[in-house]
Structure 1
Amino acid sequence: MKKIIMLLVAFVSTMLISCAQQKAKKKVVVETKKPNIIYILADDMGIGDIGVYGQTKIHTPNLDKLAARGMKFTQHYSGSAVCAPSRSTLMTGQHTGHTPIRGNRQLVENQEGQVPLPKNSVTIAEILKEEGYVTGMFGKWGLGFGEGDPNNQGFDEFYGYNDQKLAHRYYPPYLNHNQKIDSLEGNDWTHKVTYSPDKIRDHRLQFLEDNKDKPFFAYVPLVLPHAEIISPNDSIFKMYDGKFKETPFTADNKYTSDYGPNIVPHEYAPCDKPLATYASMITRIDAYVGEVIDKIEELGLTENTIIMFASDNGPSPEGGTNPDFFDSNSKFRGYKRDLYEGGIRAPFIAVWPNKIAAGSVTDHVSTFWDVLPTITQITDTENPDTIDGISFLPTLLNKDSQETHAHLYWEFNIKGGRKAVRKGNWKAVWYKVNAKADKQGTLELYDLSNDVSETNNVASLHPEIASELKALMTSESVASELFPFK
């Protein structure tokens, strides 16, 4: 009997210890702080504009250090070849055959604001806000007012440009702060006093400071280096002043209008030293990234903060820029608005201390619409049913469970329509899709395994593959009344 009692006591003790251990485990899970997420997006920055991707004329020490602390992607793609649809794919996790915004289009001609992201869209910010994150967006939105406004798409705080045409100017009279107008001191379309990116910088750093004790998502779509090509005459500009042989970009150029009483706000300012100015804009991006890193370290948040950096499309040859001089598109063909690699191949760097291996490099093929499912997997939340993306978290964590895309698809509705598909190492590009029969373009096919610059069209040599990819261009596209091919 005594032995039975002793066995019962031992059994109860074991059960109590086990329950205590289970409670402790559960307590650890509950108390584990959700990682902060910062996603920084450059505007019209080429993959070749960053030192770690091969740039030699422009200094990007902070971005280079960021890559050294985390993972550099060599086969990452933007969502589109221009601003608004690229941002739409990022926010919704849908490619441009499905995402609501597929081009740069004003809602009403000659009025502020682009076609809005529909109210029923599910964005990264909405998902994270529901998960308890504080959400902030600082920079250029470009996805519309009203139902498309950042505050109506999941962001607790918004400071910057809603209208992307206003973002053609770096010295505007005002910026948007949530639903209010914030007048910028000294700026009146004639005088250039307050440099808007610095004002935006102040607000994003304050957001990090204010929310240091809460999980936060900071979306930082920078305006730089999108034209106009302009920079304060400060120490960053002086790094490059006189370094290059310059050809001034004057008011006589198309789509150019100087500050003053006759300014056309959505056009670009002339620039006496466009090479030095562009270089300074890239280095200024780098400085802003460095300030975010420093603030996170100052607040003691480094270990629990994920930082991602990308660009929304390839480099632009507008407003006095010279992407060929800087090799901004690296070895890739095409620029902004192109669906060749130079228009959509993007830099991507991700840092998460003690999770992502420092100095790692991956050739995993990924894209903007993969960011949403990656973040939902990080935060253990549900994906919307409509997404096209695949989480690349296994790649970030060096796990063997990484899924891959069967194919990637892009479309762009300008000049008769443009489409592109990548499947494995095969890349198909088709321009003037919807032009009249006698002017319609033909499908081009490239083997990226040995022709990453897309110089050798092999469609005639591989008709079955060309036909397969052309069929995908049809099946992946759901027609849009707002963005028809024209």
Structure 2
Amino acid sequence: MNIKFVLFSMLFSIALVSSAQENKKPNIIYILADDMGIGDLGSYGQKFIQTPNLDKMSANGMRFTQHYSGAAVCAPSRSSLMTGQHTGHTPIRGNRQFKENIDGQVPLPANSVTLAEILKEKGYATGAFGKWGLGFNEGDPNNQGFDEFYGYNCQRLAHRYYPPYLNHNQEIDSLEGNDWTNKVTYAPDEIQKERLKFIEDNKDKPFFAYMSLVLPHAEIISPNDSIFKLYENRFKETPYTVANDYTSDYGPDIVLHEYASVEKPLATYASMVTRIDAYVGEIIDKVNELGLADNTIIMFASDNGPTTLGGANPDFFSSNSDFRGYKRDLYEGGIRAPFIVVWPNKVKKGSITNHVSTFWDVLPTLTEITDSETPDDIDGISFLPTLTGKENQSQHDYLYWEYNIKGGRKAVRKGNWKGVWYNMNTKKQGHLELYNLAEDISETTDVADKHPEIVTEFMQIMKEARTASALFPFEN
């Protein structure tokens, strides 16, 4: 046999294998915490709460310091993530029940093009696990590109961690021992089992796993297990009781959408954050166990800033770091989010970026990575160059948010300037506040009167950055 032919065949085979590995679609895991503040993670400065797995993620990947959630509350933030549009364009722009006293929020319209639909078209197995909040019927995850769904479709039901049931695709999955009085099965643990099962079931094909956690959203409640015991006697506690507004305990008189009282709210909240961290560790361990790590992108973020409800105490934990505001605020504390990305051999370990990015950038980033078609009507830009250390990163001209309740709120960030306008629709109308984030990250000094030209520009952006919404009208 000709030795040159043998060597050529061997080199050709190696090239084919190398090319196949290079072109193999990466698995994508996007983990979304619920109401976790940017300051709740050790890698972002947390002092009291243990988050070793998330800190290790940061050490093994890239940590973003200027990443923003899609909105200041749950449903529109998720809509922004799924559609690649900000709240001036995405269909769901607020938290609103579809029908009074019936489970389920206003549904994402059937004609929406979601990230899951795009990736499914590209051959990905798609699964969503946790809180959906974008409606039943046409908005149901199975009708929005997800092959598999397990968790809470209705985010109002997700106020409770010991519900009698969860949704599994179009079926109801009863949780053993839970009956609105007895608390036996902690729903987040059951959802976690399904996340791990999805990875196992789809290990031989590319998959997209959207892991929308419920923790640490109020109610503030946790199993009395080893994680809780880490904090059980650590803090001086003030019990949060049913004497507080919007509080109702499990039992025959339970008000389902309210929150349970809690004896040790600080310890319980801390344990919920550490439980998130434990879930992240289990997901990473499963990916490693199956030999998928080198071809898997893992992203972690939070849907908005920390809550002050149900006994949560973000000020004690500095959950919003140095930022002003909480959930429902358009100040930085309501929308500045943690964001960590791990992608072995692509994203530099231990890297930190100050690239300004947001939820509506995730869709175009993943479509570029997977060579998928990107819809024309999105507001996002791909941050793939930032992930891979390239210098051709595009920048946003501006970022825009709106929120049509609480008197009507809008915000714009352009460069280091941040404009916030509250009470736009009240008799005593507010004014556009202006902050220089380069000098005033906590938004303490309104400098609008010193920069009228920027105020005028931002008012014009707030007017032109949106289209009208019949479902979520924003009227001056």
Structure 1 length-normalised TM? 0.94
- Supply the AA of the counterpart residue of 1:250: T
2:63 is the alignment partner of 1:72:
yes
| Aligned position for 2:128 | 137
Matched residue type, 1:349: I
**Which range moved further: 476-485 or 85-94?**
476-485
Which residue is equivalent to 1:309? 300
Query: Among 93, 110, 114, which residue is 2:101 paired with?
Result: 110
Alignment of 1:465 onto 2:454 = yes
Please show how residues 2-17 of structure 1 align to structure 2 within 5 Å: none
Which of 193, 216, 219 in structure 2 is aligned with 1:225? 216
Give the drift of 1:273.
0.4
**Match for residue 317 of structure 2 among 322, 326, 331:** 326
The amino acid across from 2:267 in the alignment is A
Q: 2:460 corresponds to which letter in structure 1?
A: A
Aligned residue for 1:202? 193
Structure 1 CA distance for aligned equivalents of residues 20 and 63 of structure 2: 32
Give the SS at the match of 1:294: helix
Contact kept? 1:71, 1:351, Cα under 8 Å: yes
Matches within 5 A, 1:299-378: 299-378=290-369
CA RMSD of aligned residues (A): 1.8
Give distance in 1, aligned partners of 2:247 and 2:330.
26
Deviation at 1:131, TM superposition (A): 0.3
How far has the Cα of 1:416 moved from its partner?
A: 2.2
Q: Please state if 1:475 is matched with 2:464.
A: yes
Matched residue of 2:448: which SS?
Answer: coil
CA shift digits 1:57-83 (9 cap, x unpaired)? 000000000000000000000000000
Q: Is the CA contact 1:168–1:228 (under 8 Å) kept in the aligned structure 2?
A: yes
Letter in 2 for 1:93: G
Which residue matches 1:453? 442
Q: What is the Cα deviation at residue 434 of structure 1?
A: 1.9
Distance 1:157 1:233 in 2: 31
Q: Is the 8 A contact 1:38 1:217 kept in 2?
A: yes
What is the DSSP-based 3-state SS (H/G/I as helix, E as strand, rest coil) of the residue aligned with 1:388? coil
Counterpart among 258, 262, 273 of residue 253 in structure 2:
262
| 1:159 maps to amino acid | Y
Q: Which runs of 5+ in 2 are unaligned?
A: none
Q: Distance in 2 between matches of 1:73 and 1:470?
A: 28
Alignment match, 1:99? 90
Say whether 1:87 aligns with 2:40: no
Shift of 1:479: 1.2
Cα distance in 2, alignment partners of residues 446 and 22 from structure 1: 60
Partner Cα distance (1:119, 1:29) in 2: 38
Looking at structure 2, the residues matched to 205 and 191 of structure 1 have their Cα atoms a distance apart, in angstroms, of 27
User: What residue identity is the alignment partner of 1:329?
Assistant: N
CA distance in 1, matches of 2:240, 2:258: 13
How far apart are the structure 1 equivalents of 2:169 and 2:95? 22
> Alignment partner of 1:135: what SS?
strand
Q: Is the 8 A contact 1:416 1:485 kept in 2?
A: no
Q: Tell me the CA shift for residue 24 of structure 1.
A: 8.6
For residues 216-273 of structure 1, the C-alpha deviation after alignment (integer angstroms, 9 at most, x for no partner) is 0000000000000000000000000011010100011100000000001100000000
Structure-1 separation of matches of 2:315 and 2:338 = 17
Q: Percent identity?
A: 74
- AA partner of residue 455 (structure 1): T
Counterpart selection for 2:183 from 189, 192, 209: 192
Indicate the structure (1 or 2) with the bigger Cα radius of gyration. 1
Whether the 8 Å CA contact 2:180–2:251 is kept in 1: the answer is yes
Instruction: Tell me the secondary structure at the aligned position of residue 460 of structure 1.
Output: helix
Change (3 A) 1:292 1:23: closer
User: 2:39: which partner in 1?
Assistant: 48
Task: Give the whole-Å Cα distance in 1 for the aligned partners of 2:59 and 2:156.
Answer: 35
* Alpha-carbon distance, 1:21 to partner: 9.4
C-alpha offsets along residues 159-179 of structure 1, whole Å, 9 cap, x if unaligned?
000000000000000000000
Aligned length: 470
Instruction: Return the offset for 1:142.
Output: 0.1
Question: What CA deviation, in whole Å up to 9, does each residue of 1:111-167 have, x standing for no partner?
Answer: 100000001111110000000000000000000000000000000000000000000
1:33 shift after superposition: 1.7
Q: Measure how far apart 1:26 and its partner are.
A: 7.5
Q: TM-score of the superposition, structure 2-length normalised?
A: 0.96
The residue number in structure 2 matching 1:6 is none
